[in-house]
Amino acid sequence: MTMLNASTDPLKHASETQKRMRRLVERCILFFLFSSAALTVLITFAIIGVLLTESWRFFQIPGASFGEFFLSREWNPLLGGTPRYGVWPLIAGTALVTAVAACVSLPFGLITAVYLSEYAPRRVRNALKPVLELLAGIPTVVYGYFALTTITPALQQLQAWVNTAQKTFSFLPQGLQDVIFRQVDSYNALSAGLAIGIMTLPIVCSVSEDALQAVPRSLREGAYAVGGTRFDVSVKVVIPSALSGIVASYLLAIARAVGETMIVALAAGGLAQLTIDPRNQVQTMTGWMAQIMFGDAAAGGLEYYSSYVVGATLFFVTLVLTVIGHLVLLRYREEYK
């Protein structure tokens, strides 16, 4: 590079000082460019550093212990009595909401992707793509509103309708009846999960569709040539070939669902409990952080620092999911290069 500059410099006619000035300016610009790139790395270290040091302070405060955080099954820092800081109810809440979301976004996202990639005529494709982009672009607080004011009442209506059948099924054991026929809480994991599912559907759909499109034509043609239907080709050839991309899309969508805040803050409630019934209200990790940082926690208090520990847990969960997702994505990109 530098040799090339010396021989054919476009600034040949400029004076020596001008040349030096320009070179200096160029140095400065390059310095700015590289320091910005370095800054992005610094941000990651800052995130990890802040989360770890503040979490460490949490465990220094009397009343909080490492053992309790990971072993206790109770989380009620704000209620009267001794505050308990066991993270599992929050993790369980997050897992429950994420599981509901996954039940919506994973199958529907994949099927939509297969339809778009393998079946849909061009006209339908052109009409569907903007719809998915629109779904992806809607702010999450809007989904939260939707979950709270539309999905929850609909679920309650549905449950009321199911409950009318209780007399008919009175032969069932009482325990089972109690499980089936009950009320849907006005804040519940189900509606938040459904909304997050709709929100993450475009992620699954677009990443999987890219993976499906990356499968070489020759594979499809080979499959058609031996007499496969479109179903055979899609399900037995294209999907297995694009599996790593699909898995990556699933992981990325789940990571998004785990980190989603506004929907759960609005629709999932604020009671941390270990439950597997999504009709109950739950507290998620993100929900707790939003509540505590926004609410009336004094900085320096136990509950204030607890949000850093919860944040650190959340960060590492999503980090693992996205790292694996990106690694899997890299693999499928290499496969068909």
Partner 1 sequence: MSDQHVTAVGRPRRGRRLKDRVFLGICIVATTLSVLALAILLYSILRDGMKYLNWDFLTSYPSRKPEKSGLKSALWGSVWLVCVAAIAAIPLGVATAIVLEEFKPRQRISRWVHTFIEINIGNLAGVPSIVYGVIGLTVFARMFGLVGAANATMYDEMAVITTQSGETIKGVVMSEEDAPRLELIDPAKGAVTVELADIQRRRDIHVREHRFTLLDGTYITGSFRKVTPEQITLRLGNEDEVLFEPSRVASYTTQDFIQFGKPESFFYFQLPLGPSILAGGLTLGLVILPIVIIASREALRAVPGSLREGAMALGCTRWQAIQRIVLPASIPGIMTGSILAMSRAIGEAAPLLMAGAFLFILTTPNNFFDSFAALPLQIFNWAGRPQEEFHKLAASGIIVLLAVLLAFNTVAIIIRQAFQKPLQ
Query: Among residue numbers 149 through 188, which ones bind partner 1 (CB under 8 A)?
Result: 149-150
From 74-82, 156-164, 209-217, 228-236, span contacting partner 1 (CB under 8 A): 228-236
Q: Hey, is 269 helix, strand or coil? A: coil
- Tell me which residues in 89-108 interact with partner 1 (CB under 8 A): 107-108
Short-list 143, 138, 120, CA closest to 209: 120
> Which range in 67-75, 76-84, 207-215, 313-321 contacts partner 1 by CB under 8 A?
313-321
Query: What count of Cα atoms within 13 Å lies in the side-chain half-sphere of residue 123?
Result: 0
Q: Does 8 bind partner 1 (CB under 8 A)?
A: yes
Stretch in the footprint of partner 1 (CB under 8 A) among 67-75, 140-148, 164-172, 208-216: 140-148
Complex with partner 1: residue 110 or 189, whichever CB lies closer = 110
Q: Which amino acid is at 326?
A: H
Q: Look at the alpha carbons of 294, 152, 271, 282 in this order and tell me if their dihedral is positive or negative.
A: negative
The H or E element containing residue 309 is helix 302-335
Which one of the spans 43-51, 163-171, 213-221, 238-246 is the region binding partner 1 (CB under 8 A)? 43-51
Residue placing its CB nearer to partner 1 in the complex, 135 or 180: 135
Kindly report the backbone phi and psi dihedral angles of residue 220, in degrees, each rounded to the nearest multiple of 5, phi listed first. Answer: -65, -45
- By CB under 8 A, tell whether 36 contacts partner 1: yes
Q: Is 85 helix (H, G, I), strand (E, B) or coil?
A: strand
User: Which of residues 18, 20, 24, 26 is near partner 1 by CB under 8 A?
Assistant: 26
CB 273 within 8 A of CB 76: no
Q: Which string of x and - marks every residue 196-215 that binds partner 1 (by CB under 8 A)?
A: --x--x--------------
29 part of the interface to partner 1, by CB under 8 A: yes
Token pair belonging to 3: 């040799």
| By CB under 8 A, residue 37 contacts partner 1 | yes
Among residues 54, 68, 74, 335, which is the contact residue for partner 1, using CB under 8 A? 54
| 85 backbone dihedrals φ, ψ, rounded to 5° | -125, 70
Chain centroid to CA 209 = 18
Is residue 326 within the footprint of partner 1 (CB under 8 A)? yes
Q: Say how many residues touch partner 1, by CB under 8 A.
A: 96
Interaction of residue 226 with partner 1, rule CB under 8 A: yes
| Nearer to partner 1 (CB atom), residue 65 or residue 261 | 261
Tell me if 71 contacts partner 1 by CB under 8 A. no
Stretch that binds partner 1, among 72-80, 136-144, 159-167, 239-247 (CB under 8 A): 136-144
Q: Counting contacts by CB under 8 A, is residue 268 touching partner 1?
A: no
Contact pick of 14, 46, 79, 165 for partner 1 (by CB under 8 A)? 46
Please name every residue paired with 75 in a beta bridge, in sequence order, or none if there are none: 85
Distance in Å, CB of 51 to partner 1, minimum:
7
Radius of gyration of the chain (CA): 27
Residue in 282, 258, 261, 262 with CA at minimum distance from that of residue 272 = 282
Angle at 302 (CA atoms; ends 300, 308), nearest 5 degrees: 80
Residue 253 CA: distances (Å) to CA of 126, 160, 203, 246, 256: 23, 32, 6, 11, 5
We find the least distance from the C-beta atom of residue 108 to partner 1, in angstroms, to be 5
